[in-house]
Amino acid sequence: MGVGDAIRRAAASLISRQNREGFWWADLRADATLESDYILMELWLHPPVDGVWNPPTRPKIDRAVAAILARQLEDGGFNIYRKGPAEINASIKAYFALKVAGVASSDPRMLRLRDRILELGGLQAANSYVRINLSLFNLFPREACPSIPPEIILLPFHFIYQMSSWTRAIVIPRSIVHSSNPQRPAPAGFTLEELYLPGAPMHPEKDLGFFSWRNCFLALDRFLKVWERSAPRFIRRYAVAKCSDWMIRHFEKSDGLGAIYPSMQYAVMALDVLGYDANHPYRIEAEKQFNGLMVDNDAHGFYMQPCFSPIWDTALAAFALAEMENPPVAVLRRTADWMLSKEVRRKGDWSVKRPGVEPSGWAFEFNNEFYPDIDDTAMVLLAFAKAHGSDENKQRACEKRAVKWLLAMQGKDGGWAAFDVDNNWRILSHVPFADHNAMLDPSCPDITGRVLEALIRCGLRSTHPAIERGVGYLLRTQEQDGSWYGRWGVNYIYGTFLALRGLRAAGVSENEPSIQRALEFIRAYQNRDGGWGESCASYDEGCFVPNPSTPSQTAWALLALLAGGDLRSESLFNGIDYLVRTQRPDGTWEENYSTGTGFPRVFYLAYTDYRNTFPLLALSTYRKATAVREESVA
């Protein structure tokens, strides 16, 4: 089978999965922590009666238990990315969920899990999120948990908007819960004492030396604990009311608060703390949206999704199909019409820093109007380059608004972030509850590269000041080995592929040293089978860590080579051969590793259609590029 056949089969498979309305929507998978947190949520909503926990959702909890156990590693622990090593927080969450759901602590699987947790540092090694969740059931000392005061919403300088969008959407409801110090009951006799490592410190340790921001925030945290006990109650009530108003306002035109799992979970808990009973419309809707993330069927089993990704999936699929030599016009028209209907036309959190900008852009999920994101917006614009809707004037006006919005969201450093602009108060990374490694949303090379390509395709010239500043940002952020860091995909292959596409679209010559260094980086890490693979461990190590080949990362590497002008290397041909050779008869590819990034070093994603859309894009791009070369030679 040749490249042309592989393209046709991949396209036919992709088109067959298009929804009648014109969109694509693939499952988004994560790790077992979501199923563990689901069980914690059920314990919160349905507390034990007379010490006995018998929730009405017992059948689903049993399926969640089975799903968690199915992911247990041979050493007893649980990982945070496919085929990765055991991780302390995922392992503690799993132990809690399994034990509270009825798996005996004497079960051999639990004994292995307990031993692995102790090897990893015990319960004291848990991050702030695990500590706080356990403290809600009096299973971890609250004094050893970081404070999350609701008064944070009263701070000046738009303080909550200096945090990343996902952090503020989590922190606001969580501060409401934290402020009530609920101490919900666990089943009678339930304890996690066996997970404490003897001799390990309970409280976070200070940095060595006289001064550090971490030490300052730890001191501030001690002050906040005193404040919580002695501050005037009217201030606390006022802060909680402000947080409540903020949270409820952000429910509007959203599939749950922030439309992501953790903020949706804490929103339900916050409403409960605030006194909204189970029959209140807010509670009903919040629980409905949270439970909507659940997949529970015979074909796929039981798991919780971190969020939905229809706009992202749709824009990627449309762009991949549009890059074919003969794009499916009718299919793309339906897609364009659907994407046009999803444009955000209200001001969201981003407008705090850009108040005078007309709203536009696209979110990641079906409905999340407070949080359109820059990456999705750029991807939709790339799809629109060849996906034309039924109303040409409507689409042109929409594209014009989106381009203006993207230009307004460029940071002072010349780059683009995900949801906000200039969200880079690095000092906030030292806040005690910021150990989820995602307190900020700074500019990153992968999004910047995609935005540059989108803006150029929308008609901006390479001499436009925004393009020149974006190019400057990418050239400054190139790593010494020639790669670029990938914030939203694993990792250096992803960042390099998008940076190269952005630079080449902006007119940077393929002969420039930065381009050639990037190509050498890509070629240096090709696997013997012709493909490419990179481990999530690259985020821990701060450099490329090899992994078995995956179709998505192979496609990224090929797109990087093609963007850099490589049309003849053995690396390119071997990579193309890998994709053609590993395609399945139904036109799809198999991928068994996590190649998407949520929070580096903390949370990873498996986009279940990356394995199909990116290979199609790479093969189509290769086919077109080599056709152009052959024509020029002839």
Q: Is 277 among the catalytic positions?
A: no
For residue 575, what are the CA distances in angstroms to 555, 618, 623?
8, 10, 13
Please compute the mean of the pLDDT values over residues 617-631 and round it to a whole number: 83
User: Could you tell me if residue 202 is inside a domain?
Assistant: no
Q: How far is Cα of residue 411 from the mean position of the Cα atoms in its chain?
A: 21
**What pLDDT score was predicted for residue 100?**
98
For residue 108, what are the CA distances in angstroms to 117, 134, 232, 279?
14, 24, 51, 42
Domain boundary pick from 305, 323, 343: 305
Check whether residue 404 and residue 527 sit in a common domain: yes
Please compute the mean of the pLDDT values over residues 469-484 and round it to a whole number: 98
Residue that the structure tokens 């706080």 belong to: 132
**What pLDDT score was predicted for residue 438?**
82
Q: Which two tokens stand for residue 156?
A: 């000046």
**What pLDDT score was predicted for residue 437?**
67
Rounded to whole angstroms, how far apart are CA atoms 170 and 269?
Answer: 11
Rounded to whole angstroms, how far apart are CA atoms 134 and 129?
Answer: 9
Q: How many CB atoms lie within 10 A of CB 143?
A: 11
Residue among 375, 376, 413, 441 flagged as catalytic? 375
Check whether residue 418 and residue 472 sit in a common domain: yes
Residue that the structure tokens 């199923």 belong to: 35
User: Could you tell me if residue 514 is inside a domain?
Assistant: yes
Check whether residue 115 and residue 181 sit in a common domain: no
pLDDT digits (tens, 9 = 90+) for 217-230: 677 778 777 878 87
| Residue 178 reports pLDDT greater than 60 | yes
Rounded to whole angstroms, how far apart are CA atoms 43 and 38?
Answer: 9
Check whether residue 310 and residue 299 sit in a common domain: no
**What pLDDT score was predicted for residue 633?**
40
Check whether residue 559 and residue 607 sit in a common domain: yes
**What pLDDT score was predicted for residue 227?**
78
- Cα atoms found within 13 Å of the Cα of residue 516, Cβ hemisphere only: 4
Check whether residue 264 and residue 318 sit in a common domain: no
pLDDT band at 192 (very low <50, low <70, confident <90, very high): very high
| Residue 402 reports pLDDT greater than 50 | yes
Rounded to whole angstroms, how far apart are CA atoms 328 and 373?
Answer: 27
Rounded to whole angstroms, how far apart are CA atoms 589 and 551?
Answer: 7
pLDDT digits (tens, 9 = 90+) for 70-104: 999 999 999 999 999 999 999 999 999 999 999 99
Q: What pTM did the predictor assign? A: 0.95
pLDDT digits (tens, 9 = 90+) for 347-367: 999 999 999 999 999 999 999
> In 3D, which of 370, 339, 267, 259 has the Cα closest to residue 305?
259
- 8-state DSSP, 254: B
3-class secondary structure, 94: helix
Q: Which two tokens stand for residue 267?
A: 């929103």
pLDDT digits (tens, 9 = 90+) for 312-343: 999 999 999 999 999 999 999 999 999 999 99
Check whether residue 574 and residue 617 sit in a common domain: yes
Range of the domain at 337: 3-27+306-428+435-633
**What pLDDT score was predicted for residue 207?**
66
Q: Of 112-121, 142-151, 352-361, where does mean pLDDT reach its minimum?
A: 142-151
Check whether residue 225 and residue 310 sit in a common domain: no
DSSP track, 183-246: -PPPSTT---GGGPPTT--SSPPPPSSS--HHHHHHHHHHHHHHHHHHS-HHHHHHHHHHHHHH
What's the CATH code of the domain at 21? 1.50.10.20
User: Could you tell me if residue 353 is inside a domain?
Assistant: yes
**What pLDDT score was predicted for residue 464?**
98
For residue 305, what are the CA distances in angstroms to 32, 137, 170, 241, 289?
10, 25, 17, 31, 12
Helix (H) or strand (E) holding 611: helix 610-633
Cβ-count burial of 397 within 10 angstroms (0-12 exposed, 13-18 middle, 19+ buried)? middle
Domain boundary pick from 273, 305, 337: 305
**What pLDDT score was predicted for residue 290?**
97
- Please name the amino acid found at residue 497: F
Rounded to whole angstroms, how far apart are CA atoms 157 and 179?
Answer: 23
Check whether residue 94 and residue 154 sit in a common domain: no
**What pLDDT score was predicted for residue 430?**
76
Domain total of the chain? 3
Q: Which two tokens stand for residue 154?
A: 């009263």
Specify whether the backbone of 387 is left (phi greater than 0), alpha (psi in -120 to 50) or beta.
Answer: beta
- Please name the amino acid found at residue 441: D
**What pLDDT score was predicted for residue 115?**
98
Do 443 and 411 contact (CB within 8 A), yes or no? Answer: yes
**What pLDDT score was predicted for residue 228?**
80
> In 3D, which of 476, 486, 352 has the Cα closest to residue 422?
352
User: Could you tell me if residue 197 is inside a domain?
Assistant: no
Do 375 and 417 contact (CB within 8 A), yes or no? Answer: no
| Residue 627 reports pLDDT greater than 50 | yes
DSSP track, 55-115: -TTHHHHHHHHHHHHHT--TTS---SSTT----HHHHHHHHHHHHHTT--TTSHHHHHHHH
User: Could you tell me if residue 50 is inside a domain?
Assistant: yes
3-class secondary structure, 537: coil
Do 549 and 533 contact (CB within 8 A), yes or no? Answer: yes
Helix (H) or strand (E) holding 291: helix 281-291
Check whether residue 341 and residue 294 sit in a common domain: no
**What pLDDT score was predicted for residue 310?**
98
| Residue 106 reports pLDDT greater than 60 | yes
Q: Which two tokens stand for residue 113?
A: 């899990």
Mean pLDDT score of the chain: 94
User: Could you tell me if residue 204 is inside a domain?
Assistant: no
Please compute the mean of the pLDDT values over residues 64-73 and round it to a whole number: 98
Q: Which two tokens stand for residue 598?
A: 């949520």
- Cα atoms found within 13 Å of the Cα of residue 287, Cβ hemisphere only: 16
User: Could you tell me if residue 496 is inside a domain?
Assistant: yes
26-29-33 Cα angle (round to 5)? 155
Residues 271-280: contacts with CB under 8 Å, at least 24 apart: 272/44, 272/45, 273/176, 273/177, 273/180, 273/182, 274/176, 274/240, 274/244
Please compute the mean of the pLDDT values over residues 266-278 and round it to a whole number: 97
**What pLDDT score was predicted for residue 208?**
64
Do 438 and 602 contact (CB within 8 A), yes or no? Answer: yes
**What pLDDT score was predicted for residue 210?**
62
Domain boundary pick from 249, 272, 305: 305
| Residue 454 reports pLDDT greater than 50 | yes
**What pLDDT score was predicted for residue 409?**
98
**What pLDDT score was predicted for residue 634?**
41
pLDDT digits (tens, 9 = 90+) for 24-42: 999 999 999 999 999 999 9
**What pLDDT score was predicted for residue 426?**
84
Rounded to whole angstroms, how far apart are CA atoms 6 and 12?
Answer: 10
- 8-state DSSP, 325: S
**What pLDDT score was predicted for residue 632?**
47
Please compute the mean of the pLDDT values over residues 166-193 and round it to a whole number: 94
pLDDT digits (tens, 9 = 90+) for 584-605: 999 999 999 999 999 999 999 9
User: Could you tell me if residue 479 is inside a domain?
Assistant: yes
| Residue 200 reports pLDDT greater than 80 | yes
Check whether residue 22 and residue 45 sit in a common domain: no
pLDDT band at 469 (very low <50, low <70, confident <90, very high): very high
Check whether residue 98 and residue 132 sit in a common domain: yes
